[in-house]
Structure 1
C-alpha cells in the first residue's frame, strides 16, 4: 500500500493508485476507509464501474445485502457487457440472501457465466 500512497503524494487524483489503496484497505478489512477510497474515485470518475463494484462487495462483506445488491445492479446496468466478476458477486449476494432469491434469473445467469460454470472449471 505504501507504493500507492507515495504516488498519491505527487498526484492525489491518480485513479489507479486510489484503486490500489482501496483494494488493500478492503483486504485489511478496513471497510470504512476502503469505501471512502472508492467514493473518491467515483467523485473523479462517476462511470468507474470497478470502484462501484468494490463498494457493493464491501457492503456484501458487511452483510448489508440490500445495498450490495443495489450497487452491483447499478454496475451491471452501467456496463454494456457485464463482467463475470460482477455477475458472480450478484449471484453470491442472492445465494446468501436465502432461497427466495436463489430463484432470481440473475442468480441463474451468474452461475452459468464463464467464470462460474462447471464446464469452465472441469474443462
Structure 2
C-alpha cells in the first residue's frame, strides 16, 4: 500500500473510531489504531483534535510511517484488518415509518450451502400492515 494511501486510510479509521462507541469488531480495530498512533504521535499531534485537522493528521501519520518502517508495517496490517472486517460487516437499517428493512453491503463468504437471496439490496416488509 502506498504511504499516502496508508496515511489517508489510517486517519479515516481514527475518525471512525472517535465517532463510534458500540464496541464491535470495527471499533476494536479502530481503537488499536488510535492507541498505537497516540503513543507514537504523543507531543506531536493530539488525536482528540483529529476531526478539526484531518489533513494535519494525515501529514503526521505520513511523516511517522516514512521514518519508522516497523510501525508502518504494523499500521498497514491494522488498516488491512479493518478493511477486511468492514467488507464482512452486514449493514442493516430499519425505517420505522414504513416498518421495512434495507439490507446494504450484504456479503457472504463463498459457501455452497448458502441459499441465495435475489432480493438483496431491496426493501422488504416483514410486518403485517394494520
Q: Same fold (TM over 0.5)?
A: no
**Pairwise TM-score range, normalised by the shorter structure:** under 0.3
Higher helix share: 1
- Structure showing the higher strand proportion among its residues: 2
Specify which structure has the bigger relative contact order, considering alpha-carbon pairs within 8 angstroms and separated by 6 or more residues. Answer: 2
Structure ID, larger Rg? 2
